[in-house]
Amino acid sequence: MNTMALYLIGDVQGCDTALERLLDTVSFSKSRDTLYFLGDLVNRGPDSAGVLRRLMALGDAAQCLLGNHDLHLLAVAYGVRPAQRGDTLASVLDAQDRNAMLEWLRQQAMALKIEQPGHTLLMVHAGVLPQWNSATTMALAGEVESALRSTKLLDFLTHMYGSQPMAWSEELTGADRLRVIVNALTRMRFCNAQGEMEFTSKASADAAPAGYMPWFDVPGRKTVQDTVAFGHWSTLGKLDRQDVFALDTGCIWGGCLTALRLDGPRADQRWEHHSFEVNCDAADRL
């Protein structure tokens, strides 16, 4: 008898045919299983609208995070940010059901959490600052979610962009506070021991800029006892540690699309898991 399964899925980025093959590979059942998407649902791939329509049709069986490309789509759609070279968002922006897709996107999460006795799985798109534990991360993510769903959406999107402030402080308020939260959750790769973020480098983890390190290697980070799952970092690729699952395996760059099935915590409270991948060829991209 088949039992319920939980799957984490890395950056889809508009590659709907690859996503369809991945769901077939894992024999996904909408009535039985739950999918957790780690953000960057859209852009760069050929069919962002197809991905959004597929996820919308899955209802509660698809729990989705927002990544930087998803926020970019909202900013472009609401006229506060120009489209960029390389964007492939027309399938959403020109669609008759555009408003339904954008409204659905506004309702998605900035962080998600699964708790089992004695252990937490925290999901974000990019990273978690070293000063934040899982409860703080969820609370701060909720502040951004509230802004996205409010009547002040345009104001939020207008002030969302920028790399300052570079570090978190409890004293931050207004647009600066929300910007730091967004940058950590959707853009961060490297930071220093004090939690100051660096946004220039997109290199692999072993090529950190001087004075910086991958956010998950900062000594004493407050989520080290949890497992943090994230995407965003295609040059990092798949990373499978006791405390970290990295699942952006570069679908749009000729890599693969990855799903990680969670089979529950072991006796040591770390998650049993098994990965599935589908290769992505040119037809899956553009």
- Give the mean pLDDT of the chain: 93
**Residue 226 domain-assigned (yes or no):** yes
pTM as predicted: 0.95
A 10 A CB-CB count for 145 gives 18
Residue 95 has pLDDT above 70, yes or no: yes
**Residue 162 domain-assigned (yes or no):** yes
**Of 51, 74, 75, which Cα lies nearest the Cα of 64?**
51
Confidence (pLDDT) at 117? 73
- Please give the torsion angle defined by the CA atoms of residues 16, 6, 9 and 202, in that order, rounded to the nearest 10 degrees: 170
Confidence (pLDDT) at 1? 43
> Is residue 182 exposed (0-12), middle (13-18) or buried (19+ Cβ within 10 Å)?
buried
> Is residue 149 exposed (0-12), middle (13-18) or buried (19+ Cβ within 10 Å)?
middle
Using CA atoms, how far residue 29 sits from 15, 212, 243, 264, in Å, is: 20, 42, 28, 19
User: Domain with 239 in it: what CATH number?
Assistant: 3.60.21.10
> Is residue 133 exposed (0-12), middle (13-18) or buried (19+ Cβ within 10 Å)?
middle
State how beta strands 213-214 and 197-198 pair.
unpaired
Confidence of residue 275 (pLDDT cuts 50, 70, 90): confident
Q: How many domains does the chain have?
A: 1
Confidence (pLDDT) at 133? 97
User: Residue 234: which residues within 8 A CB-CB, separation 6 or more?
Assistant: 11, 248, 249, 250, 253, 255
Lowest mean pLDDT among 52-61, 84-93, 151-160, 256-265: 256-265
Confidence of residue 169 (pLDDT cuts 50, 70, 90): very high
Q: Which of 38-52, 195-209, 231-245 has the highest mean pLDDT?
A: 38-52
Residue 284 has pLDDT above 80, yes or no: no
Mind listing the pLDDT tens digit for each residue in 31-79? 999 999 999 999 999 999 999 999 999 999 999 999 999 999 999 999 9
**Residue 1 domain-assigned (yes or no):** no
Confidence of residue 272 (pLDDT cuts 50, 70, 90): confident
Q: What is the C-alpha to C-alpha distance for residues 247 and 277, in angstroms, rounded to an integer?
A: 10
**Residue 38 domain-assigned (yes or no):** yes
Residue 266 has pLDDT above 50, yes or no: yes
Q: Is 68 in a helix, a strand, or coil?
A: helix
**Residue 42 domain-assigned (yes or no):** yes
Range of the domain at 67: 6-284
